[in-house]
Each structure stands twice: as C-alpha cells, then as structure tokens.
Amino acid sequence: MLCRLSVRWLQPRPALQLRGLGPPVVPAPTGGAKPSALPLWAVASVSAVGPSGAGGWYEALATSAPVQGAEDVLLFAHTASGLPWWGSILLTTVALRGAVTLPLAAYQHYILAKVENLQPEIKNIARHLNQDVAVRANQLGWSKRAARLTYLKTMRRLVSELYVRDNCHPFKATVLVWIQLPMWIFVSVALRNFSTGATHSEAGFSIQEQLATGGVLWFPDLTALDSTWILPVSIGVINLLIVEIFALQKIGMSRFQTYITYFVRALSVLMIPVAATVPSSIVLYWLCSSLMGLSQNLLLRSPRFRQLCRIPLTKSDSDTPYKDLFAAFYTKFISRK
C-alpha cells in the first residue's frame, strides 16, 4: 500500500496555480528532482489525499483556507525578502509573533492585572456576605447546604458585576490561546505541505526542492529530519524554561495550577521526540516560536514596557523583575542542596 502511494506521489501533476502568484505553472520533470528525505510514511500520508478530499480530517486541514493563507504568507515573506528558506521561516515567525501574539499577550497581562487588583475588594465582599448569610440563615432556619448555596450564588453574581464594572472578565485573558494555537497549527501544516512536495512555486521548482537546499549549519536540508536532535532538544529546553519562569513568578500556586504546571512540563518533554519525527522546516519554526515566546515573557516583565502598554500596577509587581527572577532561579535550581 505504501509503495503504491509513493508511486502515485511521484507521478506528474497537472499545472498548478498559486493564489495570486501568477499563471499556472508546470512542475519540473521528476527525473532530476531530489528524492524526498522524509520517511516513506510521511510522504504517503500527504500523497493519499484524493481529489475529493476524502482522505480524512488531516487532509481536510492541509487543504483548508487557513493553511493556504499560511502558505501564501510564507511564500510572500520568501519572495519579498529574498532570504533563504531558513531566514524566511525565521522572519515570518518573528513578524507573526510580534504583530499578533505580542499585543494579545500585553492585553492578557492587562486583564490579569485588573483582576488581581480586584482581589482585595472581592475578599472584603466575601467576608461581609458570609456574615450576612450567616445571620439570615439563623433567622430563617436555613440548613448549612442552603446557606452555602445562597452564599455561592450571590458571590458569583457580585463578582461578575465587578468584572463587568471594570471590563476585565478573566475569559478575555484566554484570547491569546485561541489565536496563537490555531496560528501555530496552520503554519506548521503549511510547512509540512511544502516539505512533502504538496505545493509548487511559480518558478517551476517545487517548494520541496527549494527547502532541500534552504537550510543552514547542521540542517542544510529543511525537508529532512534533524538526525542530530539539536533542534528538538532545544525546543524542549526552551519550553521548559518558559514553564519554570511562569512557576517562579507564581507564589503559593493552587493545586490546580500545580497540576497544570506539571502537565505542561511533561508536554514540553514529549515535544522532543515528536519534533524528531517531522521535517526540519517545522522544527525550526517551532524553535523560533518558542524563542519568541520566551522573549515576550521576559519583555512583559519589564516595568517600562508594562507602563508603555498601560498595564495597571499590581501588588506583585517588582521594580527589579529580572534580578528577582535570577535570584529565584538560582535558589531553586543551583543553590539547592
């Protein structure tokens, strides 16, 4: 079955036309084309897409409009900049993270800061409401369960009114995740389409052929796996560093936050073997994205940058955030006996 799929992938394809990039083009003859450096299963999974698109949910995703848009963005960055493909991937990642996720991350911190500043008022309301409910329960003979339900229902309503008053509902802080995660998936799938020969350029050479010579240093072929595991391991280390910075920032985490932290740590480690099984173009994008995430995390600790973004001051803010972070990191990981 795999052999039949791979033969189908090598057969000549009809003329293709990129969206907005010129007239239809005919792919270069396959006789002199460089064979795919990916495992046979990786090529077969993409070549199995039928004309009707009935190859499964991944095939539907790979040919979807958002993925096609991500392909156009990558091609535009490559054409406009004139950089090799490794530079184009780096440029696209920096541009997307800087133009999309950085403003959303600043907005997330803005919302969370306002929520944090509401905590003293919420605690004061909770104390008075608890006393009022206790008095009313004694007067009306409520059971403990009825008094508890009344307290929780009233407290939820009052807290919701505070969020509306200050326009800072915590759900708004999740906008970053709902934008960043789909964007990460779409660009990753677009690069996989490029690396497996599913998309062609207007010059008559497949994007796959361009990526095969568009790498740098120890990964000159962006369609091949990183046999040195340097890129995959780097992704795991950077992601773990981001998790630890978040954990050091939180003092007295709840049990749920602790579980989430352990889960993300495990996910960061799991990404290492996963990254070792995909083309280097995708791994390079993941690494650049993680580095940008780390940079944004550190930048949003800067008091000047937070002031520039009009993020409200909070009780937990520090005038020397980087010094405090280094001291906490040193205490937890270096000086610990």
- Which pLDDT tens digit goes with each residue over 178-198? 999 999 999 999 999 888 877
CA distances from 111 to 241, 268, 283 (A): 24, 27, 32
Q: How confident is the model at residue 248 (pLDDT cuts 50, 70, 90)?
A: confident
Lowest pLDDT segment from 21-25, 105-109, 195-199, 269-273: 21-25
pLDDT band for position 199 (cuts 50, 70, 90): low
Residue 283: pLDDT over 90: yes
Mean pLDDT is lowest, of 168-177, 269-278, 280-289, 320-329, for 320-329
CA-nearest of 71, 88, 87 to 16 is: 71
Per the CB < 8 A criterion, the answer to whether 47 and 6 are in contact is yes
Helices then strands, counting H and E runs in the chain, come out as: 14, 0
pLDDT of residue 289: 94
Are 38 and 224 in contact by the 8 Å Cβ rule? The answer is: yes
Partners of 25 in beta bridges: 16
Local structure of 200: helix, strand or coil: strand
Q: What's the mean per-residue pLDDT of the chain? A: 80
Give me the residue spans of the domains in the chain.
66-334
Structure confidence at residue 125 as a pLDDT band (50, 70, 90): very high
- 3-state SS, residue 25: strand
Cβ proximity of 46 and 225 under 8 Å = no
Q: Residue 61's pLDDT band (boundaries 50, 70, 90)?
A: confident
Structure tokens at 56: 């499964």
User: Higher-confidence residue: 325 or 84?
Assistant: 84
Give me the residue label for tokens 């973004």.
Answer: 309
16-25, 164-173, 213-222 — most confident range: 164-173
Tell me the C-alpha to C-alpha distance, in Å, between residue 254 and each of 126, 130, 246.
Answer: 19, 22, 14
**C-alpha 51 chain-centroid distance:** 31
Q: Which of 35-39, 191-195, 298-302 has the lowest mean pLDDT?
A: 35-39
